[in-house]
Amino acid sequence: MVPSDANGRKSFFRYLTYSEEDEKWQLVCTDAGYCEVPPCTTYPPNKEGHPQAFKSVAVGRTLAEYQIIYITKGRGVFETNQTTYVVVPGSILLVLPGVRHFYKPEFDVGWTEYWVGFKGPHADTLREQGFLSPKKPLYEVGLQNSLLSIYSQIFELVQNQQPLYQVRASSLVLTLISEILAHERRTVQHSNSEQLVERAKFFMEENIYREVNLNGFGEMLGVSTSHLNSVFKSYTAMTPYQYFISIKIRRAKELLESGDWAIKEVAFRLGFDDQYYFSRLFRKKTGIPPSRWSAFVHQ
């Protein structure tokens, strides 16, 4: 249950401390909260306990942390990187450290917001790898019970602050990020794209024992190679080539586990002309040379 303030407005927030032990997890939860802002209400609400940075959210601020804000009711605006976005129910706002921004509900509409703040080397790595990017500050994921559940679990942890609550809360932050990215990826996929990817997968499975020229692969499926690569990677996070290699390695594992095939035979059967290239590739993908694979899985 979310507590209410003296005016009957539902709200909850915590600004958190963390120890050196918590920081070893490489990610800490810095704050979390929930607020219902009724129509014709000044934003942000004037509440004791909020730092000055929160109070400047509607006019412009820069934070030293990451924040993920989920809007589930109402309408408003979000400005970052000199671009203004319309915020509607189901919008996720991503705030990055050092990036000036502001957001607020429309005065005569109001909104409901959930937020969590976090920071640490792992978050910085996600930013460097493009999972958290200033180029993508707004996600339209819709109203998802799974996301509300994660926020609720975080709120419960930071409110009760049982042992290792920071570790558990920061793990839920990562779950939240993965859920948002998964919902986003699903919404951008169209049925024809899904069918194209499934056809491509089927073709590769059917030709797993051949050396297929993937440059002409798209033409066989009736699309350009660049379009196929773009759609396939968007759907699977791999290029067609990477996927084809992965299923060949998967099949190589099965053949080696049976004990009926020599490494050279497995390589040639799967379309590799060079046994040594196959061995290097197998080790790169599995961390174990093919000569030790059978013993590894049966130990």
Which domains are delineated in the chain? 11-188 (2.60.120.280), 191-298 (1.10.10.60)
Using the structure block, give the residue that is written with the tokens 């002309």: 273
Which residue ranges of the chain lie beneath pLDDT 50? 1-9
- Distance set, CA 239 to CA 47, 182, 227, 231, 244 (Å): 50, 18, 11, 9, 9
The residue among 71, 74, 62 whose CA lies nearest residue 101 is: 62
Tokens of 191: 């049925």
72-94 burial, b for 16+ CB within 10 Å, e for fewer? Answer: bbbbbebebeeeebebeebbbbb
Cis peptide before 240 (omega within 30 of 0): no
C-alpha 37, offset from chain centre: 28
Reported as a single tens digit per residue, the pLDDT across 231-269 is 899 888 899 999 999 999 999 998 888 878 899 999 999
pLDDT value of residue 172: 96
Which amino acid is present at 221?
A: L
| C-alpha gyration radius of the chain | 25
pLDDT for res 298 = 62
pLDDT at residue 3, as a whole number: 42
**Nearest of 112, 136, 132, 145 to residue 173 by alpha carbon:** 132
Predicted local distance difference test score (pLDDT) of residue 1: 38
Residue type, 293: W
Q: How distant is the alpha carbon of residue 248 from its chain centre?
A: 27
- Both structure tokens of 3: 């507590």
* Pair of tokens at residue 35: 């607020």
- Report strand pairing: 28-37 vs 11-15: antiparallel
pTM: 0.64
